Structure 1
Amino acid sequence: MNVSADIRALVERRQEGYSLEAPFYRSEEVFKLDMEAIFRQHWIQVATEPELPEPGDYVTVELAGESILIVRDDDMQVRAFHNVCRHRGARLCNEHKGTVGNIVCPYHSWTYNLTGELMFAEHMGEQFDRCKHSLKTVHVENLAGLIFICLAENPPTDFANLRAAMEPYLLPHDLPSCKVAAQVDIIEKGNWKLVMENNRECYHCVANHPELTISLYEYGFGYQRSDANAEGMDAFVRTCEERAKQWDEMNLPSVEIEKLSDVTGFRTQRLPLDRSGESQTLDAKVASKKLLGEFRTADLGGLSFWTQPNSWHHFMSDHIVSFSVIPLSAGETLVRTRWLVHQDAVEGVDYDVANLTAVWNATNDQDRTLVEYSQRGAGSSAYEPGPYSPFTEGLVEKFTAWYVGRLAEKIGA
């Protein structure tokens, strides 16, 4: 791939253990490279299966300059297509979500079935071959209810490794049997990498996230031991060991898996929650009375799951919170948050949306502010890469190392 000498040098001189240079966050040329090397080449998490409960249900996703249509077909399979008519290129579905019987172009009514085959095209003559004008497919994978797409002609082949490792962790929560109780989209005025870096550390949590740290142990994501916190850290370690034994007896895996340097990088771990230990809520108790899957007890901690390059998820006994990050420009990023509860849970009876969403609505807004501070700071002539904390920012280093490695491979640096 042809890139300028400046961008090639930027990639080559990245310093391990330090934040990225400012152009990584602000340059339109770097953003274009990000789209080509990352978002057009890797498995990108974009939706959840409960968003498509019935045949004909669809969502659209704008990714790396492409509009992608994700739809459930009549056999209940999830499929993905370029959202472009094969006639003269009109956008087929122009809403974020909806339901169709067939996929009908709004321009000249070319009609496709839910597997993408062209079924009807009026006035095209006897020689016209419908079979050569099916919708162009996009690779799609369904991981225990989390939907990933890949725009590349030949997607990374290691998704199978992700599936094999993660299904035992995710399947007990039975995401496909959930429904979306709430979805909130926010636009952060910051580069997508700053959004991901902020997510990959909790150095900032105690000072900035009073709602989240009601239930979240800050020790669980890196902490420097001191005389002041030694007792608390020791108690946390004992709690983790005790809970891990209980979870093992329930066939709930909890041990950390860390594969963040893989092409399709990921990490997971189940950790105890603080207070009552039930859920990420303002009182640490369940937000929904209807527990997920076959769970009979609520205090199952929180299963965290991260994927490179753009998602993180929290699975609890009563609900799931799923986050997808979609870059819009060098300085703007869409953060889409979904809260999922059991499909039989009744709003106003089993759960209250305001209570369900309170912690992460507050946390997302706080994180947006922090990301925007960082984006503005990176525009200063005084900005230079700073050192990561070896205790609390190890996962940030792993993210940035993965990211720069993917760029280097793409440009042959």
Structure 2
Amino acid sequence: MYALDLEVIFGRHWLFCATEAEIPEPGDFVTVEVGSTSVIIVRDDDEGVSALLNVCRHRGSRIVDDPCGAVGNFVCPYHQWTYRTDGSLIFAESSQPGFDRSAFGLRRVPVRSLAGLVFVCLSDEPPVDFDEVAGVLEPYLAPYRLAGLKVAHQTDLMEAGNWKLVMENNRECLHCDAGHPELTSAYFPFIQYSPEDVTPRLRALYERFLQAESRLASAGAAAGIPSGSHRELDGRASGYMIRHFPLDGDGASFGMGGKPISRKLVGEITDPAFGDMSLHFQPNSWFHFCSDHAVVFRALPVAPDRTLVRTTWLVHADAVEGVDYDVDTLTEVWKATNDEDRGFVERQQRGVSDPGYLPGPYATVEDDVESFVTWYIQRMQYHFGGGRDHLGLVPRAAAQ
């Protein structure tokens, strides 16, 4: 099943891998490992974003070992074949007569930047609905000007659980009230709640949430943010959800009690109490955009029971550490939350591996978990010829 997940889910869908803020200058690069595949994401000399397989076209050596860095050209350490940042081959010593360098550039990987968020697909035939999804999402994200932010901090957390458990845990907040005291000092735990789902214990908090939601709607309208949310987490290849979500307390950011955590507001945002623009993208990412920073997450499997979760905090390009923000305050809430989620996932991995495990029904507020599982099953059905994609296209294997 792990090999099938790598082939079908991570090999044929758009994966969030990095932000443009991580590669601000020509020659800046990051590497991404997906199973045995290594991809270089690089700002090329024309200041575009390229994605290249990290495999020399001569004898197959890995070209780059570092997770990030900056280069003028890529030089294979084995025999010094040399490539421009767009992947084109410019030097190959002792080549045979008639050798055509233009035919031996680094293999390119489909890559798209969505408002500064970089997605790659390892298939030569990526899902065609990305443009449609991007058209929905870009008006929500444009005011944050994410491509012009800078990386303030980044952490990697290895979770001893299958990647699907990591994503299921992320896709619900039923556990938040008891499990994330730092997060819920700012974050209302009402993802996919309807009024009838609110228990008596949560009624006062829910009323405060509704009031904050009304205030945020006015702030969003003033900033030109589209009204309402969009939720298509299943039923299409590039499943997503976006919602402008209020924050508790000061309503400004993910500081304790909703307090600001950077003095400089990002992009075109002028109202500090601008809540949280929350984005989920299948199969491996989630995002939170606030008035003063953004925090982005990606999950990539490294073994059947190991998942690497990377968290990146972005701030205004001119924000100065120690003056406008400090890293400890910036990262306090999500570092604690990530560690708590790691514990939940690892406990669940041990439990579902127990031969005595029998699953129970979903709660009424676990819709997004069910949507993730439904999306996964749909994509597997499509792979095996048992379904259609959202455009009504049958898989190639079924058509044949």
1:145 — aligned with what?
A: 116
Comparing 311-320 with 242-251, greater Cα deviation is found at 242-251
The yes-or-no answer on 1:93 pairing with 2:64 is yes
1:401 — aligned with what?
A: 374
Q: CA RMSD in A?
A: 1.2
Please show how residues 43-54 of structure 1 align to structure 2 within 5 Å.
43-54=14-25
TM-score of the pair, normalised by structure 1: 0.91
Q: Partners in 2 of 1:313 and 1:218 — Cα distance?
A: 16
1:162 — aligned with what?
A: 133
2:310 — aligned with what?
A: 336
The yes-or-no answer on 1:364 pairing with 2:335 is no
Cα pair 1:48 1:146 within 8 Å, conserved: yes
Amino acid aligned to 2:181: P
Q: Partners in 2 of 1:173 and 1:207 — Cα distance?
A: 32
- The counterpart of 1:244, out of the listed 207, 217, 231, is 217
Cα pair 2:212 2:248 within 8 Å, conserved: no
Identity of aligned residues (%): 48
Q: Partners in 2 of 1:254 and 1:316 — Cα distance?
A: 17
- The counterpart of 2:244, out of the listed 259, 270, 293, is 270
Amino acid aligned to 2:298: S
1:351 — aligned with what?
A: 325
Q: Partners in 1 of 2:261 and 2:148 — Cα distance?
A: 17
Displacement of 1:232 in angstroms is: 3.5
Cα pair 2:192 2:367 within 8 Å, conserved: no
Q: Partners in 1 of 2:354 and 2:228 — Cα distance?
A: 42
Q: Partners in 2 of 1:231 and 1:340 — Cα distance?
A: 33
1:23 — aligned with what?
A: none
Q: Partners in 2 of 1:236 and 1:285 — Cα distance?
A: 16
Comparing 242-251 with 48-57, greater Cα deviation is found at 242-251
Q: Partners in 2 of 1:267 and 1:168 — Cα distance?
A: 14
Residue 168 of structure 1 aligns to a residue whose secondary structure is: helix
Comparing 180-189 with 211-220, greater Cα deviation is found at 211-220
Displacement of 1:64 in angstroms is: 2.8
2:259 — aligned with what?
A: 285
The yes-or-no answer on 1:257 pairing with 2:226 is no
Taking CA–CA contacts closer than 8 Å with sequence separation of 6 or more, which of the two structures ends up with the larger relative contact order? Answer: 1
Cα pair 1:31 1:329 within 8 Å, conserved: yes
TM-score of the pair, normalised by structure 2: 0.93
Displacement of 1:340 in angstroms is: 0.4
- The counterpart of 1:124, out of the listed 72, 75, 95, is 95
1:20 — aligned with what?
A: none
Q: Partners in 1 of 2:35 and 2:339 — Cα distance?
A: 25
Residue 302 of structure 2 aligns to a residue whose secondary structure is: strand
1:235-293 Cα deviation digits (max 9, x unpaired): 42233133213321221235110011121000000011000000011242111101101
Please show how residues 289-300 of structure 1 align to structure 2 within 5 Å.
289-300=263-274
Displacement of 1:131 in angstroms is: 1.1
Q: Partners in 2 of 1:225 and 1:284 — Cα distance?
A: 22
Please show how residues 169-318 of structure 1 align to structure 2 within 5 Å.
169-222=140-193, 224-261=197-234, 262-318=236-292
Q: Partners in 2 of 1:151 and 1:266 — Cα distance?
A: 19
Please show how residues 39-78 of structure 1 align to structure 2 within 5 Å.
39-78=10-49
Q: Partners in 2 of 1:254 and 1:210 — Cα distance?
A: 30
Cα pair 1:40 1:64 within 8 Å, conserved: no
Q: Partners in 2 of 1:278 and 1:249 — Cα distance?
A: 16
Amino acid aligned to 1:117: S
Residue 221 of structure 2 aligns to a residue whose secondary structure is: helix
Cα pair 1:254 1:271 within 8 Å, conserved: no
1:159-195 Cα deviation digits (max 9, x unpaired): 0011100111111011111111000001000000000
Q: Partners in 2 of 1:353 and 1:283 — Cα distance?
A: 17
Comparing 188-197 with 380-389, greater Cα deviation is found at 380-389
2:349 — aligned with what?
A: 375
Q: Partners in 2 of 1:204 and 1:33 — Cα distance?
A: 30
Q: Partners in 2 of 1:229 and 1:295 — Cα distance?
A: 31
Displacement of 1:231 in angstroms is: 4.1
Amino acid aligned to 1:295: I
Any unmatched runs of 5+ in structure 2?
387-400
Amino acid aligned to 2:60: G
Amino acid aligned to 1:171: A
Q: Partners in 2 of 1:284 and 1:246 — Cα distance?
A: 16
1:85-130 Cα deviation digits (max 9, x unpaired): 0000010111000100011111111011111110011111332111
Residue 101 of structure 1 aligns to a residue whose secondary structure is: coil
Q: Partners in 2 of 1:310 and 1:288 — Cα distance?
A: 27
